[in-house]
Each structure stands twice: as structure tokens, then as C-alpha cells.
Amino acid sequence: MAEKSQVFDQTYEDYLSQIAGLDFNFIAATLGVKVDGGDVIVPLFGKSYRVSAQSITDSSGQKPHLAICVILCKYLLMCPMIQPLGGNWMAYKDFKDAAPLIQAFSNTVTRPLAETFAGRVAELESSGKKMGGYTPGEEFPYDLCLQFDALPKVPLLLLFNDQDDEFPAQCGVLFEKRTEKFLDMECLAMVGMLFFEYLKKESGL
């Protein structure tokens, strides 16, 4: 356990040292984040986190889980020089660098989502809306479609078909093509894992 904590601390400090070299005012508009003094405020699934060269804290002043710290830091560090256009929803497996993690994404995000909420579409919808989910601007032929703002420039689309007499429940979690300009595939997989965990927690399962 001590060794795991040491790795966490080292990774955390490495990211903070990289964050120290950023000009928050320069990247704020591109990323849709707010600068507050020497800190930047980044929302992740509707929860605000404060990032600086010294620390990363949640709304209660506590250090978040390492996965959240890594996602927030990568989002800031990967800020593109020119803001890419949105649109063009894609499954995780269709991103060019996703191959090594496709199975892991299925095992930790889409499959457990389908299994957990099979026969519970109303519950999934209620939990999703509590998390800030909203009706997307375009229609999809699914029992439930909800869009989420994982990060300001990283929307997530949940598509869910419930089980019936012939087929099990099916779930799709899509991202815009431009997402690869804001996060690497490891971080995007972690975003998916957090999404499932937050939905499950919101539903009380």
C-alpha cells in the first residue's frame, strides 16, 4: 500500500511540475475553463476542481483520486493551438490510438453499463439527468439518448437499448472526433470508467 501511495505521489508531483509551465490565461478560452488568480477551475462531469502548480483539489479542498488528477492535467497540457471543430460522434474503438485499450473500455464501461441498467431504463435516465445529462441536438434510434459534458470541450453521448425477448441490453458511449486533440486514449478510457462509476453511484447500486 505504501508503494502504491508513493507512485501516486510521484505521478502527482510530475504532473504539477508540468502544469507549472502553463499560461492559464492563454489556454482558458480554448479549453472553456476559468482562471482564478494563479489557479484554473476545471469542471469534470459537473464537479469543479481547482488546479495550480502547487495542488489539485475538489470543492471540499481535498486531493481527488489520481485518475481525476491525470485527466485534468492532460486536458490542460494537451490544449491545442487552434480549437478543433466539434461534431462527428465516434465509438471509442474507432479512435486511431485506441487499439490497446478497446477491450478494457468494453469491460469497464459499455458492458457493465448495459448489464447494470438492463431493465432499468427509467432509473438510468433519472441518474443521468441528476449528473447533468441532457437531450442531444440530434435524434438517435435508441430507447435512451443522453449527452453529458465530461469536460468543457469533451462531450459524451450515451446510447442505450434495453433488453427484450430476443436481445440483451446494449450500450454505446460515444465521443466527438476532436476529443483526441484534448485527451489521450488512456485518459479517455478513464473518463468512461468514471462515467459508469458516477452513474452507478447516483442510482444507488
pLDDT at 43 over 80: yes
Mean pLDDT for the chain overall: 94
Q: How confident is the model at residue 99 (pLDDT cuts 50, 70, 90)?
A: very high
Residue 105, classified by CB atoms within 10 Å of its CB into exposed (0-12), middle (13-18) or buried (19+), is buried
Q: What is the pTM of this model?
A: 0.93
Give pLDDT tens digits for 116-175. 999 999 999 999 999 999 999 999 999 999 999 999 999 999 999 999 888 999 999 999
pLDDT at 28 over 70: yes
pLDDT at 39 over 60: yes
Worst-scoring range by mean pLDDT, 28-37, 95-104, 196-205? 196-205
Give pLDDT tens digits for 164-186. 888 999 999 999 999 999 999 99
pLDDT at 2 over 70: no
Predicted pLDDT of residue 71: 97
Predicted pLDDT of residue 165: 83
Predicted pLDDT of residue 8: 75
193 and 67 in contact (C-beta within 8 Å)? yes
Predicted pLDDT of residue 6: 77
Rounded CA-CA distance 173/40 in Å is 28
For residue 122, what are the contacts with CB-CB under 8 A and spacing of at least 6? Answer: none
Domains along the sequence of the chain with CATH: 2-77 (no CATH), 89-203 (3.30.310)
pLDDT at 7 over 80: no
* Alpha carbon 178 to its chain's center: 14
Predicted pLDDT of residue 117: 97
Q: How confident is the model at residue 20 (pLDDT cuts 50, 70, 90)?
A: very high
The residue-averaged pLDDT of 27-56 equals 96
Predicted pLDDT of residue 86: 77
Predicted pLDDT of residue 9: 84
56 and 63 in contact (C-beta within 8 Å)? yes
For residue 186, what are the contacts with CB-CB under 8 A and spacing of at least 6? Answer: 101
pLDDT at 27 over 90: yes
Strand partners for 90: 175
